[in-house]
Amino acid sequence: MLKTRNLGTYRDLLLLFTRYGRKDFRIALSPEDVFSAETDAAAPTEPDVRARAEAFAKALKQMGPTYVKFGQLLSTRPDIVPQEYILALESLQDQLEPFSFAEVEKIVEEELGVRISKAFEYFDSTPLAAASLGQVHRAALRHSNGEIREVVVKVQRPNVREQVRHDLEVFTEIAAEMDKHTDVGRKMNLVGAVEQAKVVLYGELNYLQEARNTEILREHLADFPQIYIPAVIHDFSSPRVLTTELVRGRKVSKLTPLAMIENNYAELASVLTQAYLKQICVDGMWHSDPHPGNIFIRENPETEDGAPQVVLLDFGMTSRISTEFQDEVIKLLLSISSNRGTETAEACIRMSEIQERFDPVKFTREISTIVAAVHDVSASDLNTGQLIFNVITLANSNELKVPAELTMLAKTLLHLDAITKKLDPNFDPQRVIRDYAERLISQKLAQKFNPRNFYPALLDLNQLVLDLPRRTREIIDLTAAGKLALTIKLSQAEEFLAGIHKVANRITIGVVIAALLVSSSMMMRVPSRFTIFGYPGLAVFGYLLASAAAFYLILSTLIRDRKDQERAKMKSK
């Protein structure tokens, strides 16, 4: 329910979207945009859209840090906003006004419990960059041995937590009303989007959480020497101050054509893609804000030739998924990269919450269309993140509620596509994704068929073998005593008993097969002079006998059931 104390904020938001974005966002929300870039004659011209987009970004900047962060999140949603807005909102990444150095000193001293002049050898009063939630300064620490270590210190904006908390409360109220009373709200799941924004923002406001994220990802990517993550200086970090080592390099967004000619970054594009696939599909935790301003290129100081190395920065925004969700993501990425639209739709359905009016046939047909259309373009023009956003748009329009994690995945891959294309204009992300996913599936299957995974099953099977004769005897005794015939008509007793005998025979054969498997598995560990293909001969013979018995059981069951069906048909006539 909307609250009277927030009426002023409601009015500002309504004016903001009515004045700048309502018409443009409505066009972008149309499902038809997924299939065609054409719009009707009433659609605004490109210069008009660009002017409104720039005014919209300027208005967000004036409304405060939460709105700036909201704009940054919107800039990663091509399924909601047109390209002109994305370009304007991306400028919010690093064009914000810094707060005063006096406030920086106050916050650092409150958090670290010591004056800046005592804690640091020097501390640059001019920030390197100012963002929506904080700003970064260059500084230096003096170790006990006299060594000077250059660092960067991120300081949170004063009073930003209270402001963010209030703004998110307003967003939640508006989203709830729109979900309740509008079709757009219900389809887009605006409450879910705001909840996702809460997780992101509250995580970014806790610099100790960012420090933990940094250390975890440093460990996860330790096997990638071409990727580097700066170390955290924990003694000089707190919930509102984060100190990390200074790494010099050049932003990917600032790479010049001359630098691209002098250096071959094609391998870095492949390595970076594989590193993110590992984070997502193996570790279940990934850096979900890899925009070009957060990724540097430097010469690796550990190599003699100074080979190029990717530096990842800013780990306030990370995402996590379960092992089961990882498997679905692998299937989704593999089906997209292999041009299998039906499997793409099935993976999306399994991930999502099905609404009452969902039509799986229509959804599968539409997904197959866009997946096939993407593969008709050249490899260098493929954009996996954009395609997943298109899938999300179709899911929303078809009453399929996708999880927030899928949106974060699309956002990450959208940024990653832009970065890898910058490093190598001819880079084919689908080939790397397909090769990595196939290799990963093979590894997962090998792990599942590891003998150690069968030991619990063998124990259960052993217990089943021990219990089955007793339980089967109990069933037969109860049947013979008439205690299981309470709801069976007398005319059916003969058929029922025949069925019981048939089931008992099959159970007996099953018990024998199980016993052969268990005993053969145990004999595999017993040394023997008699071997077959290098394995104990008796164990191999037991497996072969069990296989033959299983084949006989299946074949006899099929034949007997077929005869019973024919007999039943004859009786019915």
Q: Residue 322: left (phi > 0), alpha (psi -120 to 50), or beta?
A: beta
The rounded distance, in Å, linking the Cα atoms of 100 and 79 is 38
The token pair that represents 128 in the structure block: 């390197």
SS3 of 500, please? helix
pLDDT value of residue 497: 63
Higher per-residue confidence, 152 vs 82: 152
Q: Over the stretch 539-572, which tens digit does the pLDDT of each residue have?
A: 777 778 878 877 777 777 777 777 777 776 666 5
If pLDDT is split at 50, 70 and 90, which confidence band does 258 have? confident
The rounded distance, in Å, linking the Cα atoms of 413 and 433 is 11
pLDDT value of residue 380: 56
Residue type, 472: T
pLDDT value of residue 22: 62
Residue 126 pLDDT > 70, yes or no? yes
Compute the residue count for the chain: 573
Exposed e or buried b per residue across 126-153, where buried means at least 16 C-beta atoms within 10 angstroms of its C-beta: ebebebbbbbbbebebeeeeeeeeebbb
Q: Over the stretch 158-169, which tens digit does the pLDDT of each residue have?
A: 999 998 998 888
Half-sphere exposure of 102 (CA within 13 A, CB side): 0
If pLDDT is split at 50, 70 and 90, which confidence band does 379 have? low
Distance of CA 559 to the CA centre of its chain: 48
pLDDT value of residue 153: 98
What are the two backbone dihedrals, phi and then psi, of residue 45, each rounded to the nearest 5 degrees? -75, 160
pLDDT value of residue 27: 47
Question: Beta strands of 120-160 (E only): which ranges?
Answer: 122-123, 129-130, 134-142, 148-156
The rounded distance, in Å, linking the Cα atoms of 565 and 147 is 88
Burial of 340 per CB tally in 10 Å (0-12, 13-18, 19+): middle
Closest-CA residue to 60 (of 94, 130, 13, 28):
13
Q: Over the stretch 306-363, which tens digit does the pLDDT of each residue have?
A: 788 999 999 988 999 999 999 999 999 999 988 899 999 999 999 999 988 899 999 9
If pLDDT is split at 50, 70 and 90, which confidence band does 85 have? confident
- Tell me the percentage of the chain whose pLDDT exceeds 70: 82
- What H or E segment, with its residue span, contains residue 27? helix 22-29
- Tell me what the pLDDT averaged over the chain comes to: 82
Q: pTM (2 decimals)? A: 0.72
pLDDT value of residue 363: 94
pLDDT value of residue 409: 93
- Name residue, tokens 């890898």: 420
The token pair that represents 292 in the structure block: 């070009």
Distance of CA 53 to the CA centre of its chain: 29
The rounded distance, in Å, linking the Cα atoms of 471 and 58 is 76
Highest mean pLDDT pick, 109-118, 453-462, 511-520: 109-118
- Tell me the CA end-to-end span of the chain in Å, nearest whole number: 67
pLDDT value of residue 38: 38
The rounded distance, in Å, linking the Cα atoms of 119 and 104 is 14
CB atoms within 10 A of CB 520: 20
Mean pLDDT throughout 492-513?
A: 68
pLDDT value of residue 37: 42
Closest-CA residue to 383 (of 348, 415, 338, 347):
415
Mean pLDDT throughout 35-63?
A: 68
The token pair that represents 32 in the structure block: 């038809």
Q: Over the stretch 89-114, which tens digit does the pLDDT of each residue have?
A: 877 765 678 999 999 999 999 999 99
Exposed e or buried b per residue across 489-518, where buried means at least 16 C-beta atoms within 10 angstroms of its C-beta: eeeeeeeeeeeeeeeeeeeebbbbbbbbbb
